Chain A
Amino acid sequence: MMAFIKQQAPQEVSEDERTTARDFHGLSAELNSEHATARRWAVRDLVSFPQASEVLVARLKIEEDASVRTAILSSLAQLGDKTAMNGLVTCLRSDEASLRNEAIEVLKAIPDEVGPIINALLNDSDSDVRIFTINILESLRHEHVEQWLMSVIDNDDQVNVCATAVDLLSEVGSELSVQSLMNLKQRFANEPYICFSVDLALKRIQQGEH
């Protein structure tokens, strides 16, 4: 009797399929897949694991695919623990403008998690981080935004940090900010941009444009 051997066609594995175990270790391993789509799925599924921030932050440091990086930032925002927040804040120090901008957009969307670290970020030794923090305040929808901005223009010595704060105060500032704005104009009397932007902010506040 002749043996019948069923010829099976080689199984095609789409990179879209979730091919590994969806437990924490399987997903963590999948972060190193050669396929970006598989890595992206792993990143998304890791959100279910509270301990995932560390592996996601580690992957973020070496990930080169933009869509996977975006997914990592989104997952870290959802996790929102200390490790995740540190990972997002680290992006503000990146040399890559696109990564910084993506992190800013993600941080804007999580006011409850960002609120407690704003003071530390506004006092960071890197003036660019302070500027990006003010960019985050732009649409943070947090009750302390005006107070934070007043504190910046009262105390920060870096002209661009103050300029960024004035830009935002011209949109969200109230009568409370007027004295701080006038003091800033005196402090940077030789900076045409500061004088221009303070005058504009004062005009808007006095006209109650917002």
Chain B
Amino acid sequence: MKTILVIDDAATVRMYHRHILESAGYSVDEAINGIEALEKALVKNYDLFIVDINMPKLDGYGFLRQLRSQDIEQAPAIMVSTESAKNDEILAYNAGANLYLIKPTKPDELLRYSRLLLGESI
């Protein structure tokens, strides 16, 4: 079973993404900020990261930049944010995101892009 790490400081968002992804047969872990996410990502191989941008302590950009600098197997990442500014999208890709989605995500959209990045048929 593929495992996805959902990183968001909002508990409801984590629960929502977990609900969608588990309903589709994925295993889901959670992290409340970039620091906790890094700690988890360095000891466990994840198949996909779903990353919020605005988080305290270490934001989504910081998490991805640090993750991408590690000499470990790299999983794809979907960055999600409430902000639709073009600059944020560029920053997300520069930090190492594979895809940028605007919140609130729709279940079919999240699953479609997750499957795409996981190399599954959509």
Contacts and interface: CB of A to CB of B under 8 A. Distances in A.
A117 interface: no
B82 A192 contact: no
Interface in A66-115: 95, 97-98, 100-101, 104-105
A166 B19 CA distance: 18
Interface of B: 10-13, 15-16, 19, 53-56, 59-62, 82-83, 85, 87-88, 103-107
Given A101-B55, A159-B104, A201-B12, 13 more contacts: A95-B87, A97-B53, A97-B54, A98-B62, A104-B56, A135-B54, A160-B103, A160-B104, A193-B103, A193-B104, A196-B16, A200-B12, A200-B15
Contacts of A157: none
B102 to A, nearest CB: 8
B59 A193 contact: no
Nearest to A169: B12
A193 B61 contact: no
B1 to A, nearest CB: 23
Interface string A160-173: 10011011001100
Nearest to B55: A101
B82 A167 contact: no
| Chain A to chain B: the 8 pairs with minimum beta-carbon distance, closest first | A193-B104, A160-B82, A167-B12, A97-B59, A197-B12, A167-B10, A196-B16, A95-B87
A194 interface: yes
Given A95-B87, A98-B62, A197-B16, A163 B103 contact: yes
30 contacts: A95-B88, A97-B53, A97-B54, A97-B59, A97-B61, A98-B59, A98-B62, A100-B54, A101-B54, A101-B55, A104-B56, A105-B56, A127-B82, A131-B82, A132-B54, A160-B103, A163-B103, A163-B104, A167-B11, A167-B13, A170-B12, A171-B11, A191-B104, A192-B106, A193-B13, A193-B16, A193-B103, A193-B105, A196-B15, A201-B12
